[in-house]
A and B are shown apart, each in its own frame.
Chain A
């Protein structure tokens, strides 16, 4: 790969635990980006951070390359399916009109006059075509909301069915009517009407297969995020795996709190400390230099296995006090968060008291001091900025909110007469992903990982993964049980009561 991983860890002077990814190595491999020299790059550490504002993290690099690749491929496929759909639609709509028009064009003199019943059928054809047009527009001509890896099986089948159907009608028409130049125009019109009727029935089939079949819930899926274990359950109908994945991702954007990599550094550092305390010494023989192929390989892996087993045994025996540290650290962190939160709430409430909504009459009196919401927000923001920033730093959310977004939110709250508590709510609890800036959405980065084919249906016990850049959603499907409900009838007259006394009388 284009980057190197340092073998040792050396903490930098300005902070314990703050490591910067030296992206310069990566920048050298991408053309056209200005380069800066740093002679110390080989000696410093490499770890991923999302908190620095000046360097790109590894996630951003992957995202940029993926964006470049995908935008070309997906658009091609979309235009291809769009043109296919348009062609099929035109074929379907123009066929009945062609059936009706061609006899008039090719053998107008031989045709029998169209009587009343025949002209009545013209009206029927016209209205049925109009209904078909509206129905097709409602069902199929919607902006696509997702690009899925494989083709929709049902849609493809329906398209093939419609094509076969129309082609067979054309064949019949061509052989029996065009070639023989049939004079019975009423029969031809009835033939065209039967085609439109059958198309409407195929549209009904399309509604049932594509829309109605998966409305009834059949599976309960359990979705777990791999980084922090947040879990939700959803009820889905009988869908293919890719459509179920789409439904789950849409629910993910609504229900799951935003993914914050800064919250996971604590457990990673604990794990690193745990491993760093142990070193393996091989007392009996030499270390195998490189894993050799062939029979020597077994010896190398055997030594590696025994080394790891020794490490695990030693770790189990050692009296580890890291649980103690964790307990006190968490208690301390809790206390700090609460203190900062108290200061923040007071600062915001105080700031909000300086703003007052002006009534209509007052506005005309003092035009000089009047501010619009944006200016009002900018005026009171500095008094709460410091405590807000400190709170966000303590809860490790500071990179989720930019100054601009905070001021925008403040202006929004002022305009809509919201209380300070309402303003603070979006900073005190992490909200769903869509609430944050576009760069957090990662809507184009999802990958579906599945052992079964993605166009096959959901089954009991199906497991698949939805990978985003630095986390994945593990999805398990279970069938909703068959419920047997029985009835018990209670006569309303059977509700009778007695009074139970226990009196005591003195004699």
Chain B
């Protein structure tokens, strides 16, 4: 299910701003980005609840090897693969998206393992992600013109 385009909601470590044209990260400054809300319903496969995508990145990983990030020092969590016909693809998640929040929890400054844990909580059926991608900014620009 695709969520409406919206500006970033206030979360734990992020602040909202009116003009959100860039995705770059300046230390000490609030992060601004155009995000899309995506709601994924977990699918039961045997014993596990799966979401149908893979993540890469984290503050304990090497940001230079991330093929999807624009800024090679970006240590955020990125979607590296999306299983075809999985719940994530159905919900509108695309490869290369950067995950900014999961169920209200910030994902811009977490380790890889923490991110995995936040996504795979056993007592949650639905995860609400805020993801950003480059094409979102261009879409906003076009819509404003």
Contacts and interface: CB of A to CB of B under 8 A. Distances in A.
Interface string A186-226: 00000000000000000000000000000000000000000
Given A502-B56, A502-B66, A507 B50 contact: yes
18 contacts: A501-B60, A502-B62, A502-B65, A503-B56, A504-B80, A505-B56, A505-B112, A506-B50, A506-B53, A506-B54, A506-B55, A506-B81, A507-B51, A507-B53, A507-B54, A507-B55, A507-B116, A507-B120
A319 interface: no
Interface string B115-132: 010011000000000000
A502 B54 CA distance: 13
B13 to A, nearest CB: 21
B107 to A, nearest CB: 12
Nearest to B63: A502
A505 B55 CA distance: 5
B61 interface: yes
Q: Which 4 A-B pairs have the closest CB atoms?
A: A500-B62, A502-B65, A506-B54, A507-B119
A503 B61 contact: yes
Contacts of B50: 506-507
Contacts of B81: 504, 506
B62 A504 contact: no
Nearest to A505: B116
A95 B60 CA distance: 90
Interface in A460-507: 500-507
A141 B120 CA distance: 96
Contacts of B51: 507
Contacts of B56: 502-505
A501 B57 CA distance: 9
A504 B62 CA distance: 12
Interface of B: 50-51, 53-57, 60-62, 64-66, 80-81, 83, 112, 116, 119-120
Contacts of B116: 505, 507
B53 A503 contact: no
A501 B62 contact: yes
A126 to B, nearest CB: 83
A502 B62 CA distance: 6
Nearest to B127: A507
Given A502-B65, A505-B112, 4 more contacts: A502-B66, A503-B112, A506-B55, A506-B83
A506 B79 CA distance: 10
Nearest to B67: A502
Interface string A308-326: 0000000000000000000
Nearest to A500: B62
A51 B119 CA distance: 92
Contacts of B120: 507
Nearest to B51: A507
B115 to A, nearest CB: 8
A501 B65 CA distance: 9
B92 to A, nearest CB: 16
Interface in A250-276: none
Most buried by A among B53, B61, B64, B81: B61
Contacts of B83: 506
Nearest to B120: A507
A501 B61 contact: yes
A504 B65 contact: no
A503 B81 CA distance: 13
A505 B56 CA distance: 7
Nearest to A504: B56
B61 A505 contact: no
Contacts of B60: 501
A505 B112 CA distance: 9
B61 A502 contact: yes
